[in-house]
Amino acid sequence: MKKIINSALFIVYVGMFFVSCSDTDTQDENPDNNQSFYKEVLSDLALNVITETYRSLNAQALTLQNAVDAMSVGDENALTTAKVAWQQTRAPWEQSEGFLYGPVDTEGIDPAIDSWPVDVNAINNILNSGNPITQSLLESNNEARGFHTLEYFLWGLEGTKPASALTNRELEYLKAAAANLQSKTEELYSGWLVSQGNFAGNFINAGNTGSIYASQKSALQEIAEGLSIIADEVANGKIEEPLNGNNGSAKPEAEESRFSNNSKLDFANNIRSIQNIYLGNYAGNVNNGLSAIVSENDSSLDVEIENLITDAINTIEAIPGTFTEAIINNREAVAQAQQKVRALQTLLDSKLLPLMSGL
């Protein structure tokens, strides 16, 4: 999950020792400019990409909650609306997995909303019990709440569940789970909001008192490492396990979003998370991303990273059919996508991280 290539970092670290006693470093010529430039990048990423992604996640989760509340047994349209709302909530979540630091981790939000696998026995036992299904019942049950529990109810194990097969008890569960998901996304969004938890402040004020990051460089490294970590997770976890997890053969049960057949989109959105942070873009708003720093230092690397990100997204989306089918019938196409993501991770590890360490 975190195969950051340390040899590269090691060399850079050693390099810093030598650089640190040179007074003719080009970057020292304009330390104030760099400081304000980095602050701009860090602020844009923290506010306009990360916090915005979470704002969007929370807004979609609210839509999902409303859609679930409107469901009833046999109402096919309402089920379809809820499925679409689930996918539209899933998208910003997957686009947030390039920055799994801060409240999403320290407040236990990731396991509460995206725990996998689903505990089908626990869900069935809860359904079959006489207990009212409430948010507080779900609080102690990470594996029976969150995205994948909702997915299980909306699509069913085979992905084809009709609205007529839903029960009132399942609807009660769905409503509690959707409300719980939304409360978690709100907690996550609030955790970053400057006016509330202000985790964003750690990046905006990096290097100053009040930030957990002792330097702007340290904050930029955190952001860059997050990109490598999700690339690794997609290539060597999310794709590798279903593709080869059974001693080199397919292991279908290891696919995460298989009830909804959303896996390809999940993976593409994970890489878009990298793209958003790299370019500083979210939802069409153009800001400063890591690219702004890279292009100043190594413009060809900047182009290389940008192209490889696009290439990886396109190759994932070009996998024919569903991911579930492809790991059996189009293994080569899946392997190609995996290869692109691995290449991206290697590039990030061998070039982007050292560049950030050397700032």
Contact residues for other proteins, defined by CB under 8 A: 1-4, 6-7, 9-10, 12-14, 17-18, 20-21, 101-103, 105-107, 111, 115-122, 125-126, 129, 139-144, 212-214, 218, 221-222, 225, 229, 236-237, 241, 253-254, 357
* Minimum CB–partner distance for residue 200 and other proteins (Å): 14
* Minimum CB–partner distance for residue 228 and other proteins (Å): 9
- The Cα–Cα gap between 204 and 206 comes to 6
Q: Are 163 and 60 in contact (CB under 8 A)?
A: no
Residue whose tokens read 């991280």: 353
Q: Which two tokens stand for residue 119?
A: 């505990």
Our CB check for other proteins shows the closer of 7 and 314 to be: 7
Our CB check for other proteins shows the closer of 10 and 318 to be: 10
* Minimum CB–partner distance for residue 106 and other proteins (Å): 3
* Minimum CB–partner distance for residue 297 and other proteins (Å): 20
Residue whose tokens read 């993501």: 341
Q: Are 58 and 109 in contact (CB under 8 A)?
A: no
Our CB check for other proteins shows the closer of 209 and 300 to be: 209
Q: Are 317 and 305 in contact (CB under 8 A)?
A: no
* Minimum CB–partner distance for residue 66 and other proteins (Å): 28
Q: Are 103 and 187 in contact (CB under 8 A)?
A: yes
* Minimum CB–partner distance for residue 231 and other proteins (Å): 14
Our CB check for other proteins shows the closer of 112 and 166 to be: 112
* DSSP letters for 100-127: --THHHHTSHHHHHH-SS--HHHHHHHH
Q: Which two tokens stand for residue 42?
A: 């860090």
Our CB check for other proteins shows the closer of 2 and 300 to be: 2
Question: In this structure, which long-range contacts are made by residues 135-142, counting pairs with CB atoms below 8 Å and at least 24 apart in sequence?
Answer: 135/176, 135/179, 135/180, 135/183, 137/176, 138/176, 138/177, 138/180, 139/180, 142/111, 142/112, 142/115
Our CB check for other proteins shows the closer of 214 and 318 to be: 214
